Amino acid sequence: MPEELNPFKEAQQQLDEAAEIMNLDREAHALLKEPRRTIMTNIPVKMRDGHTEVFQGFRVQYNDARGPAKGGIRFHPQETLDTVKALAAWMTWKCSLANIPFGGGKGGVICDTKKMNEAELEALSRAYIRSIAQFIGSEKDVPAPDVYTNPQIMAWMLDEYATIKGHNEFAMITGKPVDLWGSEGRVDSTALGGMFVMREAAKRMKINLKRATIAVQGFGNAGKYAYELSKELFGSNVVAISDSQGGVYDPEGLDLDKLEKAKKATGSVDSYEGKNSRKVSNDELLKLDVDILIPAAIENQVRGDNADKIEAKLLLELANGPVTPDATRILFERGVVDMPDFLVNSGGVIGSYFEWQQNVSGYYWDTERFHSELDRFITKSFRDTMDMQKDYASKGKKIPERMAAYVIAVDRVARAMKARGWY
């Protein structure tokens, strides 16, 4: 990965910019530049043909000053330690901005789940937990699903941890099936939180969501729910969507059933056929003339070389790290409102907090309460961010939305470290 596209370098650069804006103490800055703890592990798994495959795994606990580390586990063939470190850093700011009692963490295993059968996947999931069991737990580090992991994998991991410890500890992992005390409402919480941010931003920008056109990059869990919820909640018109192979654009709007049929038949939504539809690449989708652009796929999609071609008025970062630091500056100078990832997609970790809280207390909520509390938490985060941006503007210093959110999040973590006597 080129250094300029290294996600951890970008995360560090974003921290540096925030530190300069807020005059962060040098000691706090140094503590926050690197993870407090990085775990690397080799994981042997016996495969279906009898040979033993050794997989490389990671768990990064970036900062736990405000509570147990919290963050998902990714199973991906191109996983890297720097990606996991970056995501753990962003989780630190995400939890802090949402003002929930967690620090930031992340995990990953280099593997290709598409080439593994269910038995191999279960064996890997259990072996990964065995390799890090001493470092995790409901009061230490609480994992969750992420790329190519799901509630079933969380269930296997929960069971393996219970076997090791000799008792159940449901709060040690989130994103579980409801049958194992996962939370009602958790499944679509990442996208739903993003929709609440979109609603609040649209109000401020006077965008009529019923008439708004939306392009979504990504047809995974977050992207698909963003499509469904934007139409269900606001009646918005999703005119473009893509997956890793390519995308489709139709100015009249897209039909979800036809998208899913195209994906199932050919492996990509770009085979979608509509009266006025046409294929678009992922890069072309980003540059479409729409009201709202939702990157919901992978990092580094909006960069210095294409940010000046973004036509959307509002950019909603549902993916982790989809906009690079140089692109942030270009978008801000052009007047594009760019709502940062660790605000927009924080619905997932807020939902995980609700699940953890229910597991700890043994008192469980219904979906209505879950959604209501999620709305309250993320709307406050949005308003805090806008108020911080306004406060800086009143002092003659205009800063992007991302930096306003960073100032809030970094300040909270720094104050916790100071109170603990870490510096």
Whether residue 315 sits in one domain with residue 168? no
User: Would 82 be classed as within a structural domain?
Assistant: yes
Q: Which candidate, 188, 420, 211, 218, places its Cα nearest to that of 316?
A: 218
Residues in contact with 118: Cβ distance below 8 Å, sequence separation at least 6, in sequence order? none
Query: Residue 71 sits in a domain of what CATH number?
Result: 3.40.50.10860
Can you read off the two tokens belonging to residue 24? 């962060």
The whole-number pLDDT of residue 4 equals 53
- Residue-wise pLDDT for 364-410, tens only, equals 999 999 999 999 999 999 999 999 999 999 999 999 999 999 999 99
Total tally of structural domains belonging to the chain: 2
Residue 405: inside a domain: no
Q: Does 197 map to a domain?
A: yes
Contact 72, 222 (CB under 8 A): no
DSSP states along 111-159 = --GGG--HHHHHHHHHHHHHHHGGG-BTTTEEEEE-TT--HHHHHHHHH
Residue 411 lies in a domain: no
169 with 298, same domain: the answer is: no
* 236 in the same domain as 124: no
Residue 36 has pLDDT above 60, yes or no: yes
Q: Which domain holds residue 325?
A: 189-344
| In a domain? residue 419 | no
Domain end, chosen from 323, 344, 365, is at: 344
Tokens of 220: 């995974």
Q: Residues 151, 248: one domain?
A: no
Q: Give this prediction's pTM.
A: 0.92
Angle between helices 81-98 and 367-394 (to 10 degrees): 90
Specify the pairing of strand 37-46 against strand 314-316. unpaired
Residue 40 Cα distances to 24, 85, 95, 173, angstroms? 31, 12, 24, 20
pLDDT in tens, 355-367: 999 999 999 999 9
**Do 332 and 222 reside in the same domain of the chain?**
yes
Q: Are residues 195 and 162 in the same domain?
A: no
Domain end call among 321, 344, 367: 344
Claim to verify: residue 333 and residue 219 sit in the same structural domain: yes
In terms of domains, do 95 and 195 share one?
no
Asked if residue 150 and residue 65 are part of one domain, the reply reads yes
Residue 85 CA to its chain's centroid (Å): 14
CA distances from 12 to 35, 61, 273 (A): 11, 16, 43
Tell me, yes or no, whether 366 lies in a domain: no
Which residues are annotated as catalytic? Answer: 106
Round to whole Å and give the CA distance between 204 and 385: 13
167 and 197, same domain (yes or no): no
In a domain? residue 169? yes
The model's confidence at residue 147, banded by pLDDT at 50, 70 and 90, is confident
For residues 86-110, give the mean pLDDT.
Answer: 97
Kindly indicate the confidence band of residue 3, based on its pLDDT and cuts at 50, 70 and 90.
Answer: very low
Tell me the pLDDT of the chain averaged across its residues. 94
Q: Is residue 71 located within the same domain as residue 214?
A: no
pLDDT above 90 covers a percentage of the chain that reads 87
118 in a domain, yes or no? yes
Q: Tell me how far apart the alpha carbons of residues 370 and 182 are, in angstroms, rounded to a whole number.
A: 12
Q: What is the reported pLDDT for 248?
A: 92
Question: Region 100-107: what's the mean pLDDT?
Answer: 98
Helix axes 401-420 and 26-33, enclosed angle (nearest 10)? 100
User: Residue 197: which CATH number?
Assistant: 3.40.50.720
Bridge partners of residue 246, in order along the sequence: 243
Answer with the one of 128, 143, 174 that is the final residue of a domain: 174
For 249-308, the pLDDT digits (tens) are: 999 999 988 999 999 899 899 888 888 889 999 999 999 999 999 999 877 889 999 999
Same domain assignment for residues 162 and 196: no
- The answer to whether residues 109 and 56 touch, using CB atoms and an 8 Å cutoff, is yes
pLDDT given for residue 2 in this prediction? 43
